[in-house]
Amino acid sequence: MASKDSLYNRKKWEDGDFPILCETCLGPNPYIRMQKNKYGDECKVCNRPFTSFRWCPGRGARFKKTEVCQTCAKMKNVCQTCLLDLEYGLPVQVRDQALAIKEQFPQQGANRDFFVQNAERALAESDGTTPYGELALIPNSGNNEMLNKLASTRGGGREPYYARNAPHICSFFVKGECKRGDECPYRHETPKPVDDKLSIQNIKDRFYGTNDPVAEKLLSRAKAAPKLVVPTDQSITTLYIGNLGSNGELVVSEQDLRNHFYQYGEIRQIHVLPNKFCAFIDFLTREGAELAAERSFNQTTINGQKLSVRWGRPQAQTRFEGIEEKKVFREVPNLPGALPLPSFDEPGPSSSKSKRPHAEVITSEEAGPLKNPKLVIPNVAPKAGSSSSSTSSNQSQVYYPSQDPMRLGTKGPL
């Protein structure tokens, strides 16, 4: 007769009535039909037999099936098919890094089997609606700002993204040899250039949250995303709201802004500029303004308009923002002064020549159509340059290397 220890340590086969799936994998069809195969597949993570399901999400979609057992899916709170988080639809690596979860599971051998047994016993004692492990200890894990922004870039927020269920591209069509036509279950499209890193994906890496190329791409996108810098001046409690209209009409009214932003704090005043399709919201406290800026930056949509949220600035700062300070440059020594313009009034060395008068401005009527306009030399007084004593005192100083007479091997006066 077998002992209790040997019976306890045996692998248990899992049997379920319905899979754990996300809305995207289920598809838009409410009258979906599934094929249930009892103990028909092996879990890709724990290698235990489990009841698999196979179905078609909708018209024009490919058939999908469950890949991992329900125990492994509950431990990570992921879908049994796509292995993405059930709350945000993001990879496990992105969710764990955003929520600072550092929980590690054994990946092979007896340690993995023992851990799965303990997790299955703990999940059986719960109501089945709470997550497992460190994820259950995090309060408000469904309201993370970073995860909400990343989820909004993948198919429009937490709404299902059914384009992910599209069939694969027909390889025979790419070669020009497909003969099935409209009856072909695969897509007849030309493949688009895909990143080589995204084409190499692994189920275990996606489940454990390590070396996932999709997660690394999303994290790099999150780091490169613009961030709203909080001003150091504590007296600023005003937010600038832009993009309130389109096609010359104001879409978002003052009441719409008040209904949305009152949840962050008490509002002192809202000033709407209909001609410029923008508004200024003045909060009563600085805490309310910071909370509104943090929660609304790049993630606020009212009446179909995605609003741009910025911090307001004082009028003195915006008035003199474009004026630059006048820079004072240091004077370069040993430069020759400006040469004076020639003067024709003073008598020259040759007194026999007659004096030349100044050129006068001749109008087009006096010159006629065939005469060219003459050069006009303005009578400008010579600019007072630096004296010879000052230049002689600075001859010993070298400002540029080209001013050094010994630079190219030349010899100075002996």
The DSSP code sequence of 251-305 is -S-HHHHHHHHTTTS-EEEEEEETTTTEEEEEESSHHHHHHHHHHHTT--EETTE
pLDDT tens, position by position, 237-283: 999 999 998 888 899 999 999 999 999 999 999 999 999 999 999 99
For residue 251, the one-letter residue type is: V
Answer whether 87's CB lies under 8 Å from 142's CB: yes
**pTM of the predicted model over 0.85:** no
Tell me the pLDDT band of 2, cut-offs 50, 70 and 90.
very low
pLDDT at residue 6, as a whole number:
45
pLDDT at residue 267, as a whole number:
92
Mean pLDDT for all residues in the chain:
79
pLDDT tens, position by position, 354-379: 455 554 545 545 545 545 555 444 45
Q: In terms of pLDDT, which residue wins out, 204 or 315?
A: 204
Mean pLDDT (whole number) for 36-50:
91
Which residues fall within 8 angstroms of residue 294, CB to CB, at 6 or more apart? 145, 228
Position of tokens 């910071």?
290
Q: In terms of pLDDT, which residue wins out, 407 or 283?
A: 283
Mean pLDDT (whole number) for 18-33:
91
Q: Is 60 exceeded by the pLDDT of residue 10? A: no
pLDDT at residue 272, as a whole number:
92
126, two tokens:
């719960």
Answer whether 85's CB lies under 8 Å from 209's CB: no
Q: Which residues pair with 36 in a beta bridge?
A: 53
pLDDT tens, position by position, 85-140: 998 889 999 999 888 888 888 888 888 888 888 888 888 888 777 788 888 877 76
> Length of the chain in residues, anyone?
414
CA gap 260, 252 in Å, rounded: 11
Answer whether 66's CB lies under 8 Å from 81's CB: yes
Strands (E) located in 143-251: 238-242, 245-246, 249-250
Q: In terms of pLDDT, which residue wins out, 156 or 209?
A: 209
Tell me the pLDDT band of 13, cut-offs 50, 70 and 90.
confident
CA gap 161, 58 in Å, rounded: 13
CA gap 153, 381 in Å, rounded: 69
pLDDT tens, position by position, 332-360: 666 677 777 777 665 555 544 445 555 45
Q: Is 70 exceeded by the pLDDT of residue 383? A: no
CA gap 159, 222 in Å, rounded: 20
pLDDT at residue 248, as a whole number:
83
Q: Is 60 exceeded by the pLDDT of residue 82? A: yes
CATH 3.30.70.330 residue window(s) in the chain: 238-319
353, two tokens:
């020549």
Q: Is 50 exceeded by the pLDDT of residue 394? A: no
CA gap 96, 107 in Å, rounded: 17
pLDDT at residue 178, as a whole number:
92
Classify each residue of 325-349 as buried b or exposed e, where b means 16 or more C-beta atoms within 10 Å of its C-beta: eeeeeeeebeeeeeeeeeeeeeeee
Question: 238-319: which CATH number, 3.40.190.10, 3.40.50.410, 3.40.50.300, 3.30.70.330?
Answer: 3.30.70.330
**Listed residue (104, 107, 115) closest to 9, CA to CA:** 115
Q: In terms of pLDDT, which residue wins out, 362 or 48?
A: 48
- Half-sphere exposure in the Cβ direction for 146 (13 Å, CA): 16
pLDDT at residue 172, as a whole number:
94
CA gap 74, 120 in Å, rounded: 9
Burial of 292 (C-beta count, 10 Å sphere; 0-12/13-18/19+):
buried
For residue 160, the one-letter residue type is: P
pLDDT at residue 26, as a whole number:
92
Which residues fall within 8 angstroms of residue 378, CB to CB, at 6 or more apart? none
